[in-house]
Amino acid sequence: MEDNYITYEAYSDCFFRDKKYTLQLDHENIKRIEVEATTDDKSQYKRGKLTLKFILFDSIKDRSLAKKICQRKVVEFLNSLTYITGRSFYKYEEVDSSYALHVNINYSEIGGIMEVFSNFSDENFEKVGRKIKNGKAKSYLYKLYRAAMNNNDSFTKFMLLYGLFYHMFRTQNEVDRFIWGIDDTEVEMDSTRGNGTKETIYTYLRNQVGHTQVDSNFDEVVVKMSNCVQKLSYYVKKAIKSRLV
C-alpha cells in the first residue's frame, strides 16, 4: 500500500547546494520526512528551495486531520532549522498530497532575496528531528527567532532580536550580563541612560534609536547594527538554549 503523504516547498533568502536526506521520525503520526534542498531558478529570482515530504502513519486516513498534523510539523521543522542554521524561510506552501482535493496554499511570505550559498549537513536535519521529538520545536522562542531572522533589513532584524533578548531577561543589565558571561572581551560602552554604568554595544545601539539621543546619527547607527547583527543572533541563540534546557 502506498504511503499517505503531504509535500511542502519552503523558500529561503539564500541558495542551497543540492542535498537529499530522509529523517526517520516515527513521532506524532509522522513516519519520516523526506528532505530535498535545491536552488530554484524557475522563478523571477533564484532562491533556495527546501522540499519536505511528510509520510504519515497508515492510520491517518482523514485529509483534514493529515493537513493539521503536517502544517504544525512543517512550522516546527522550519523554526528549528532556522534556529540551528541561521537561515531564514520566508514562505512555504503545500504542493502535493496523496489525499484528495489538493490545492496549492501559500502560508506566509515576505520580500527580499539574498545571493548566498548554504550547505545543510545530515546532522542539521537530525537535530531538527530531535527537537521535534523532545518538544522544543514547539517553543514560541523558536518562532520569534525565525520571525526576526526572516527580515532582510538589518535594522529591523537587530531590533527584533534585541527585543526577543529583552523578553527573556526582562532588563538590559541582565542582557548585558549574559553576553559578557559568554564573551568578556565584548566592548564596554558608556551607557546612554546617563547613569554611569557600562553596556554592551548591542544595548548601546538599541538605545541610540530606542531612546531620544540628541547626538545620535541614525544612519551611522544602522550601519553599526548591520555589522554586528549576526553576532547578536548568536547570543540570542545561546540565550534561547539556556531557557530550553
pLDDT digits (tens, 9 = 90+) for 204-226: 999 888 765 556 788 888 899 99
Give the model's pLDDT for residue 133. Answer: 94
Is residue 235 within 8 A of residue 178, CB to CB? The reply is yes
Segments making up each domain of the chain, as ranges: 5-136, 154-243
Q: What are phi and psi of 184, to 5 degrees?
A: -75, 0
Interatomic CA distance for residues 171 and 23, integer angstroms: 40
When mean pLDDT is compared across 57-71, 171-185, 209-223, the lowest value belongs to: 209-223
Give the model's pLDDT for residue 44. Answer: 58
Q: What is the mean pLDDT of residues 29-58?
A: 87
Smallest CA-to-CA distance from 112 within 153, 147, 162 is with 153
> Buried b vs exposed e over 33-50: b needs ≥16 C-beta within 10 Å?
bbbbbbbbeeeeeebbbb
